Amino acid sequence: MIEAPFAEISGINDRADLAEVERAARLDIAAALMREGVTIVAPDQTFIDADAGAIGRDAWIAPGVHIRGDTSIGAGARIDVGCVLTNARIGAGASIRPYSVIADSAIGDRAQIGPYCRCSDTRIDEDANIGNFIEVVRSHIMAGARADQLAYLGDATVGARANIGAGTVTCNYDGKSQYKTTIEAGAFVGSDAQLVAPITIGRDSYVGSGTTVTKDVPRSALALSRVKQVNIDDWAKRFKEAGGKRKDRHEP
């Protein structure tokens, strides 16, 4: 194993030598940052490019993190296990939870991202929350907005304090072109909604759970597109008595 100071002048004859020199360089980068007040839990398991931007004092970086390209991290931010940041701007006090991938994006102060979140070509403002298993692409999420789990936001603008329910999808691509979804401030989008772009969800409006929205929703309105629920009495009992076989495959 190559140790400093000899790593700076060692020869590289194969991939094994290259890996050792790269390891020594990574440890040097991590050591310099730790002396400036950055916490790096496992320097030998953290990958920080030499050309990365500034990492602020009291930032916390967990094992398995990759910081690539022109990435900067604000003071007091937390980057948890397995995150990959490429050309990203992470604001002060932001929290990037485990196994999130952020590329070419800006994350505002105190924003909460992940776990298992992907952001690309996106701006997320201060105090926003983008939670579990969410993909955000070419979008702007404004201050205090939240999408807590299982959503796709593509080519979207989400206004301040808006809420995006679980399972919501912005249907931004029709097979040929991509279209914009605008969700204005204070809007509430219920779970499992499909927003067929181009479309605007008005300020302080509501979209009911399970709704497919195909036209603009006015300010403070409620949008619903559900099929009326029908209950068939004793159907389950009759179905079991018939041995689990339907008399007519077209009947429920």
Rama region for 71: left / alpha / beta (φ>0; ψ in -120 to 50; rest): beta
Distance, in Å, from the CA atom of 249 to the CA atom of 234, rounded to the nearest integer, reads 18
Q: How far apart are the first and last CA of the chain?
A: 70
Distance, in Å, from the CA atom of 24 to the CA atom of 198, rounded to the nearest integer, reads 51
Q: Are 181 and 197 in contact (CB under 8 A)?
A: yes
Amino acid at 58: D
Hey, what are 15's tokens? 């991939």
CA dihedral 8, 14, 15, 19 (to 10 degrees): -20
- pLDDT confidence tier of residue 2, bands split at 50, 70 and 90: very low
Q: Are 139 and 157 in contact (CB under 8 A)?
A: yes
- pLDDT confidence tier of residue 229, bands split at 50, 70 and 90: confident
Distance, in Å, from the CA atom of 210 to the CA atom of 228, rounded to the nearest integer, reads 12
The per-residue pLDDT of the chain, averaged, comes to: 93
Q: Identify the pLDDT of residue 250.
A: 47
- How many residues comprise the chain? 252
For 88-135, write each residue's pLDDT tens digit: 999 999 999 999 999 999 999 999 999 999 999 999 999 999 999 999
Closest C-alpha to 84, from 141, 33, 31, 46 = 46
- pLDDT confidence tier of residue 138, bands split at 50, 70 and 90: very high
For 141-185, write each residue's pLDDT tens digit: 999 999 999 999 999 999 999 999 999 999 999 999 999 999 999
Distance, in Å, from the CA atom of 11 to the CA atom of 18, rounded to the nearest integer, reads 9
Closest C-alpha to 8, from 21, 17, 18 = 21
* pTM for the model: 0.88
CA angle, 144 then 82 then 59, to 5°:
60
Amino acid at 173: Y
What residue has token string 């320097």? Answer: 43
Hey, what are 44's tokens? 């030998």
- pLDDT confidence tier of residue 204, bands split at 50, 70 and 90: very high
Residue ranges and CATH numbers for the domains of the chain are: 6-241 (2.160.10.10)
Residue 152 burial (CB count, 10 A): 19
Indicate whether 139 pLDDT > 90: yes
Distance of CA 190 to the CA centre of its chain: 19
Distance, in Å, from the CA atom of 110 to the CA atom of 162, rounded to the nearest integer, reads 17
Q: Identify the pLDDT of residue 242.
A: 86
Hey, what are 213's tokens? 């929205």
